[in-house]
Structure 1
């Protein structure tokens, strides 16, 4: 009996990042907690109250997202009229995130969304996010974006990673005929 090409026994699967390992567990726990809190509120205040709270969250979230979108578009329009670039860190992204959290049904997401819409919390989260991003970019090697393009690599069946690029020479007359169909007449 013949076997295929010898393979290395040291080709262990790549280790998953902490985020990819614990994110599904965190989302499941958050979902269970949201449902439990909704049932507690429904038991204490009634089903109609919970329904009205959920509808109010959707309306408030929609208003917040619309307002943030308007501000972002206005900022872009003013910057284009000045001939410059839009201001950095306008805070519209966090306002949209707060609105999205309000739209998602649940008590915890509503509280987090409302907190993000408060100006002091909004500014603190914005500063923290900006400094964390700057630290992350400083740690990356110059001229690269760290592990951003790691998933774009080509994987061989044996698990080894081969980096490269494909260069095609499809010009007519380069040894191959033009394979495109003729235009309809």
Structure 2
């Protein structure tokens, strides 16, 4: 319930900010031009929503048919759809964020953020199925003195090249 309160407060602040920005833009370029700009971005958003939806669906189907994990394509697809939806919503702030999400590097960044947020909320096995295995570069380190138990002295050192290593015992759940 607490999340709903934050979301409602955020939505109210966004509406107030959108009204303030609209009035400022209208004073700068004229009321009719501001209204026309709002209508044009809504129409463009509707067209892009259809286009981005079709592209996202095609990328998802392609990944599945090729046997690739679909999660990466789904993340960038969701970012593109969010950009189109934000253009569809009235207001210059949401239009600006929507346009930014349609720029490929920004969309890729948002897709990675969606992936990380998703991986943090699902099991490591499900994340592996959805996004593929983590790519890790690992090397064996010198175990030091002879271990007393078999396998106890093996030390692996490595760095994550792609994805995140998720330790299920130290996962933070946010609900």
Same fold (TM over 0.5): yes
Q: Which has the higher strand share?
A: 2
Normalized against structure 2, the TM-score is what? 0.62
Q: Give 3-state SS (helix, strand or coil) of 1:126's partner.
A: helix
Q: Which structure's residues are more often helix, by fraction? A: 2
2:108 is aligned, of 123, 132, 141, to 123
User: Is contact 2:85–2:98 with CA below 8 Å preserved after alignment?
Assistant: yes
Cα distance in 2 for partners of 1:32, 1:101 equals 16
Decide whether the 8 Å contact of 2:86 with 2:98 is kept in 1: yes
2-side partners of 1:141 and 1:78: how far apart? 31
| Map of 1:75 onto structure 2 | 59
Structure with higher Rg: it is: 1
Residue 72 (structure 2) pairs with residue 89 (structure 1): yes
Q: Which runs of 5+ in 1 are unaligned?
A: 1-15, 149-185
Superposed CA deviations along residues 63-102 of structure 1, whole A, max 9, x for unmatched, are 221111221333355467x475773332221111101100
User: How many correspondences in the alignment?
Assistant: 128
RMSD, aligned CA: 2.7
Partner of 2:25: 41
TM-score normalised over the length of structure 1: 0.59
2:148 maps to none
Displacement, 1:140? 10
Superposed, which structure 2 residues align to 1:16-165 within 5 Å?
Answer: 16-17=1-2, 19-76=3-60, 78=62, 82=65, 84=67, 87-90=70-73, 91-138=76-123
Question: What residue ranges of structure 2 are gaps of 5+ in the alignment?
Answer: 124-165
